[in-house]
Structures are given as C-alpha cells and as structure tokens.
Amino acid sequence: MSKGRHDGSRPPRRPGPLRSYLAGRIDGLSSAILVFPLFVTYQLGILTGRGQNGVDFLTRRLIALAEYDMTSYLATLAGMLLAYAAILVLLRHAGAFDPRIFLPMLAESAFYAVSMGSVILFVLARMAPFLPGLALSGFAGPIEVLVVSAGAGFHEELVFRVALLRSLAFLIAGLTGRRRALALAVALSSVLFSLAHHVGPAGEPFLFSAFVYRTFAGLFFAMVYLVRGFAVAAWTHALYDLYVISLS
C-alpha cells in the first residue's frame, strides 16, 4: 500500500526561469527560437540594398524560393513569422520553452558585448594612429549599422561557430582526442573567421593588425558559444558590432 504525504513536507519547487536559464548552456532548440529576431531584422533590413553579410548563404536560397519576386519574398518571411509564433505557442504549452528567458539572455549578451567592446574601443583610441587597420568606421547610417550587426551576429556565428567549429572538432578528434581537437578547432575557426573578412569582392585589404584583432574577437565569440550556446554568442556578436561600430 502506498504511503500518502502526511509528514507536512511540501513538494520540491520548480526553479524559476532565471535559475533554469543560468543552470547551463542554452540548448539548440531554444537558441534557434531566441536568434530568430536577429534573422528577421537582417532579412528585412537588406531590402534597403545595404548590409548583406559575406557569409549569408540563406538569403540566396530564400530569394530563389521566392522565384526572385519581392512579393513572394515578403510572403515567405511572413509565413516564417507565423510559423515562428505557432511554434512558440506549442512549445510554451508543452513546457519545452519559456519566453521569459529572452530578457536575461539579452542582458547577458549585452554585458559580454559592452565589456569586450569597451576594451576594443580603448585599444582603438590608443593604437589606431599606429595601426590604421584597426579602424572600424565606414558605415553610412544607423539602419545600415543595425542590418550589418544583425547579419554578423546571426550568419557569422551560424557559419563559424555552429557549423565550422563543430565540424573541425569532429574531424580532428580522431587524430588528437576530443579536448585537444576542440582547442585546435577554436583556434582554426577563429583564424578563418578573421580571414573571411578579407576575401571576396566586398573584402577588406589585408592588414595584419586587423587580422589579429578579428582573430581574438573570434576566440572570444567561440568561448561564449561553447559555454553559453548559439543564442548568447549570436546576440553578443550582434550587440558588440552595434556598440563598437556606433561609437568608433
């Protein structure tokens, strides 16, 4: 015969959204939901004709899906927004996602972005006269800065951290072991992240100072990604770019 709860003890309380959020790395499903606003901001922003990211492979597919028609493209985005809202409702009812984690995620990302950005601005103010490759200005206005920042946060973290870093770690693991493979993957993906800014028709002329600066930035974003997940890394990258470009 089972015993009832007669000892006056209470059932354990479920942790609140903030405690649950801070308990560990954000999972992939939650990250996908949390970065969607960055994706939409960028996709709408590039309609102005400015700010398309160099590693943006998704937009070309969306444009092809819409058969190169603006109305179809906007309808596709509208359909994505409706699907996003429906998924949010379903996951919320299933207890698989709590929308209240968005604010602490944004606050955490802003903290990392402002902390690193302040260091970069300090270096820029003192080293730019000697290392001109560290200059970050050249954007036309706030709309373009917003589009560039959202695109960098979403697309560059998706390509260089989620896809490239993980792929490199998987491929190298058979040769060196998992821990060393991860360290090598972080370093190599950060170097490639920096080099990517100097290739292609929109690439910058190669300057060693700019290359080193972006490599260290890549290492920072990689650490954020590994410890806190894709969503925090993407928002940190976007807010970092927004902060640094706006004030540089």
pLDDT in tens, the chain (248 residues): 445 455 555 655 656 666 667 777 898 899 999 999 999 999 988 887 777 787 887 887 777 777 667 888 888 889 999 999 999 999 988 888 888 899 999 999 999 999 988 887 777 666 655 444 445 555 568 888 899 999 999 999 999 999 999 999 999 998 888 899 999 999 999 999 999 988 876 677 888 878 888 898 999 999 999 999 999 999 999 999 998 888 76
18 token code pair: 């903030």
**How many structural domains is the chain composed of?**
1
**Hey, what amino acid is at 137?**
S
Report the pLDDT value the prediction gives residue 24, as an integer from 0 to 100: 77
Q: Map tokens 């028609």 to a residue.
A: 69
SS (H, E, C) the chain: CCCCCCCCCCCCCCCCHHHHHHCCCCCHHHHHHHHHHHHHHHHHHHHHCCCCCCCCCHHHHHHHHCCCCHHHHHHHHHHHHHHHHHHHHHHHHHCCCCHHHHHHHHHHHHHHHHHHHHHHHHHHHHHCCCCHHHCCCCCCCHHHHHHHHHHHHHHHHHHHHHHHHHHHHHHHHHHHCHHHHHHHHHHHHHHHHHHHHHCCCCCCCCCHHHHHHHHHHHHHHHHHHHHHCHHHHHHHHHHHHHHHHHHC
CB 229 within 8 A of CB 31: yes
Copy the structure tokens of residue 247. 């004030």
Give the pTM: 0.85
Q: What angle do CA 127, 129, 135 make, to 5 degrees?
A: 75
What tokens appear for 70 in the block?
């603006």
Exposure class string for 89-120: b at 16+ Cβ within 10 A, else e: eebeeeeebeeebbeebbebbbebbbebbeeb
**167 assigned to some structural domain:** yes
CB 156 within 8 A of CB 237: yes
Closest to 148 (Cα-Cα) out of 45, 51, 50: 51
- Asked, for residue 35, whether it belongs to a domain, the answer is yes
What pLDDT was estimated at residue 232?
97
Q: What is the Cα–Cα distance from 10 to 15, expressed in whole angstroms?
A: 15
How far lies 16's CA from each of 27, 75, 186, in Å? 17, 38, 33
| CA distance linking residue 217 with residue 243, whole number of Å | 14
What pLDDT is stored for residue 119 in this prediction? Answer: 83
Residue 233 belongs to a domain: yes
pLDDT of residue 13: 61
Parent domain of 202: 26-247
